């Protein structure tokens, strides 16, 4: 009995390992990589221009498919290429009937990329709280980290002891504003590579949002009003010299908001067909517009707004995925399923099974018959060794390899 269980255990290991590496090396050999296009908005043409990347084959098109060479696009997207145009003396001094300066263009230009893996990632619940108004005008990593459980506690990084005066001051400040402990979620931008610090946004025990930061060693805490029923999935805090918004809020319903500097007003972004678990968003901002590129594995859906966040243009494009290629069709008949230990959509390590390919049952049946034939040639009774053929029929090529490696010697 122990021999049978050991053999079964080894067979299952081979099946799992094969399900990871056979599809992986297959796609390394045959995957058709597609460079994802990206939309920009031209203040010269007043339309969307789409950048198509791919090595030397780098070109732009408009919504109607008209091609533009890269050098021509430099002048059609002057706000994106202002450094190059200024260096060559081709930067316009006015756009859309408005005088512009290079400093103004620089201040208003920004890019944000929000990926599923930035949302679904393990977090150590200890956060550095920067001094928001440092005396020497330079952000420095603090000597303590905070956590918010039954109170807000600061832990000294050297001694690992609680810093009571900071913990008491911040806990009282939160309590005065109605914060209900513990915090469910905490969001911030814990890096010194930013022009200034805006602290953290924390969701309390009643799903209310609060803004927390340190100013001259003292606590700052302010509630952030939320629409009725809004539940927060994630907040991406981004400090920018423009000081237009604190960051991007994504709700559990995949709604997107900017948390504005204007009394924490939530500005809803007119973006549809967005799934935070699957799609990434690339946000491009300039002096006149905002472009929200929602990118999935096979589609690009772009939404362009003016500075008042009114929708002024859209664009949508799709391309065939790997499953729709010849290699993809073959893979569906060869591999009944695949297994990965990681996902491009998450930083969590787990078992990520693909959906079962029913097309592979055809090959599975052939391998099932071959397994029966092998048992007969080895003078085994298929009725007694029914589990080998059944395993092959379910797991296909993975099970067939495992059964061949670990031959059944029990007659």
pLDDT band of residue 54 (cuts 50, 70, 90) is low
> Do 263 and 305 lie in a common domain?
yes
What are the phi and psi torsion angles at 264 (to 5°)?
60, 25
Per-chain mean pLDDT for the chain:
92
Q: What is the pLDDT of residue 62?
A: 93
The verdict on residue 411 lying in a domain is no
Residue 383 pLDDT more than 60?
Answer: no
Q: Give the least confident one: 309-313, 351-355, 380-384.
A: 380-384
Residue where a domain terminates, one of 59, 75, 108: 108
> Do 196 and 100 lie in a common domain?
no
Residue 116 pLDDT more than 60?
Answer: yes
Residue 159 pLDDT more than 90?
Answer: yes
pLDDT band of residue 382 (cuts 50, 70, 90) is low
**Residue 4, both tokens:** 């049978």
Residue 409 pLDDT more than 70?
Answer: no
The verdict on residue 223 lying in a domain is yes
Instruction: Specify the number of domains making up the chain.
Output: 3
Average pLDDT for residues 368-381, to the nearest whole number?
78
Q: Give the least confident one: 19-33, 68-82, 124-138, 329-343.
A: 19-33
- Could you give the percent of the chain with pLDDT greater than 70? 96
Q: What is the pLDDT of residue 24?
A: 92
The verdict on residue 410 lying in a domain is no
Residue 370 pLDDT more than 60?
Answer: yes
Average pLDDT for residues 363-382, to the nearest whole number?
81
Q: What residue numbers bound the domain in which 398 lies?
A: 2-32+326-405
Spell out the long-range contacts of 311-319 with Cβ–Cβ below 8 A and sequence spacing 24 or more.
Answer: 311/270, 313/41, 313/47, 313/48, 314/48, 315/39, 315/48, 315/50, 315/63, 317/37, 317/50, 319/34
> Do 18 and 51 lie in a common domain?
no
> Do 196 and 285 lie in a common domain?
yes
Q: What is the pLDDT of residue 136?
A: 84
Tell me how far CA of residue 209 lies from CA of 122, 129, 181, 249, 252, in angstroms: 21, 18, 12, 11, 14
Q: What is the pLDDT of residue 33?
A: 72
pLDDT band of residue 389 (cuts 50, 70, 90) is confident
Sign of CA dihedral 335, 340, 344, 345: positive
pLDDT digits 0-9 by tens, 204-249: 999 999 999 999 999 999 999 999 999 999 999 999 999 999 999 9
Residue where a domain terminates, one of 108, 127, 155: 108
pLDDT digits 0-9 by tens, 8-37: 889 999 999 999 999 999 998 887 777 889
- For the chain, state the CA radius of gyration: 28
Residue where a domain terminates, one of 88, 108, 128: 108
Q: What is the pLDDT of residue 380?
A: 61
> Do 134 and 226 lie in a common domain?
yes
Q: What is the pLDDT of residue 384?
A: 59
pLDDT digits 0-9 by tens, 316-369: 999 888 888 888 899 999 999 999 998 888 888 888 989 899 999 999 999 999
Residue 401 pLDDT more than 70?
Answer: yes
Task: Classify residue 174 by burial, with Cβ atoms within 10 Å: 0-12, 13-18, 19+.
Answer: buried
The verdict on residue 204 lying in a domain is yes
Residue 1 pLDDT more than 70?
Answer: no
> Do 70 and 27 lie in a common domain?
no
Measure the CA–CA gap between 155 and 206, rounded to whole angstroms: 25
> Do 248 and 140 lie in a common domain?
yes
> Do 154 and 257 lie in a common domain?
yes
Q: Give the least confident one: 31-45, 133-147, 168-182, 354-368.
A: 31-45
């Amino acid at each position: 009995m122990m021999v049978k269980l050991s053999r079964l255990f080894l067979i299952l290991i081979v099946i799992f390992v094969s399900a990871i590496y056979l599809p992986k090396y297959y796609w390394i050999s045959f995957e058709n990589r597609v460079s994802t296009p990206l939309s920009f908005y031209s203040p010269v043409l007043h339309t969307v221009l789409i950048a198509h990347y791919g090595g030397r084959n780098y070109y732009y098109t408009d919504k109607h498919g008209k091609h533009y060479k890269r050098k021509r696009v430099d002048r059609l997207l002057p706000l994106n290429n202002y450094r190059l145009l200024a260096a060559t003396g081709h930067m316009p001094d006015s756009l859309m009937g408005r005088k512009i300066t290079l400093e103004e263009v620089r201040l208003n230009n920004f890019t944000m990329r929000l990926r599923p893996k930035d949302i679904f990632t393990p977090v150590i619940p200890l956060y550095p709280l920067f001094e928001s108004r440092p005396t020497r005008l330079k952000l420095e990593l603090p000597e303590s980290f905070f956590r918010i459980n039954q109170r807000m506690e600061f832990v000294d990084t050297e001694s690992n002891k609680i810093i009571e005066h900071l913990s008491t001051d911040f806990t009282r400040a939160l309590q005065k504003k109605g914060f209900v402990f513990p915090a469910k979620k905490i969001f911030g931008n814990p890096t010194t590579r930013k022009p200034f610090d805006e602290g953290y946004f924390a969701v309390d025990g009643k799903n209310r949002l609060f803004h927390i930061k340190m100013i001259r060693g003292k606590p700052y805490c302010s509630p952030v009003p939320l629409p009725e029923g809004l539940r927060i999935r994630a907040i991406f805090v981004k400090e920018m010299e423009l000081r237009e918004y604190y960051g991007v809020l994504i709700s559990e319903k995949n709604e997107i908001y900017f948390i504005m500097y204007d009394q924490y007003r939530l500005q809803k972004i007119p973006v549809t067909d967005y799934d935070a678990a699957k799609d990434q968003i690339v946000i491009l901002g300039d002096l006149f517009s905002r472009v929200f590129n929602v990118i999935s594995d096979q589609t690009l859906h772009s939404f362009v707004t003016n500075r008042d966040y009114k929708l002024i243009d859209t664009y949508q494009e799709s391309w065939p995925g790997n499953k729709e290629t010849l290699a993809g069709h073959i893979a569906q008949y060869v591999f009944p399923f695949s297994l990965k230990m990681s996902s491009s959509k998450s930083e969590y390590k787990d078992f990520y099974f693909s959906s079962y390919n029913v097309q592979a049952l055809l090959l599975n049946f052939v391998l099932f018959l071959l397994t029966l034939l092998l048992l007969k040639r080895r003078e085994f009774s298929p009725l007694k060794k029914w589990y080998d053929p059944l395993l092959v029929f379910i797991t296909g090529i993975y099970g067939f390899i495992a059964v061949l490696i670990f031959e059944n010697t029990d007659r």
